[in-house]
Structure 1
Amino acid sequence: MADAMRDYDSIQAVICASVSNQDGRTLGITLPIVDAQEALIRHVYEPAGPSTLETEFVKARGTGTPAGDPIETESFAANLGPAVPKSQPFRIGSIEPNVGHMTGVSGIGGVIKAA
């Protein structure tokens, strides 16, 4: 990062943290659990992680399901909403609605879209 800044390179995005989890036992393999989603978000913002005030965009799974999308949105609101000033835009995005589920490369697709 220091080299890129020194060389005046165009920095499109900075990934401050990335984590993953497994929701454990759920009603179905594709159904997330609010508690697990909230724990995942808190884990990203633990000490030495990014500040919630610096967050302008989060990449969600966003599969368009009536169960998963509200749980993700609720988790973001509970963990990030109180810290983000009303005047600051907060964006949530996903790659799946644009190109479908890309299976093994879905993670990098989300990174590319976010950048």
Structure 2
Amino acid sequence: MPQKDVNPGAAIGLPTAQEARLETVFDFQRLFAGVVNLDGSVRPEGIKAIFERYQVDIKTFAELMGVSDSYVHAVIARRKRDRRIEDAIAARFGIEPNRMWGRSTSSAA
């Protein structure tokens, strides 16, 4: 009878040692230190850090969205507002769009 792997997380790419897991968490915390606004939205440098962390090329992302990379950079920097691009960025990283972009969740009557 085959024995089970001691660390089932290793099969899906999780670090095997407890120290390595903590180091990963600390890296993630360091990545996001100071990039979240008081309203919970993510600052432009935080969004760029997310792209880097997950190795997503902004130029490739822009091509898939049918826009230029300078346009995506302008949306990230909030110089332009494009809900479609904002929602796609948030969806790509599994973040709720209203939180990421600091949108109001209440609808005006």
TM-score scaled by structure 2?
0.26
* Higher RCO (C-alpha 8 Å, min separation 6): 1
Q: Which has the larger radius of gyration?
A: 2
Structure number with higher helix proportion: 2
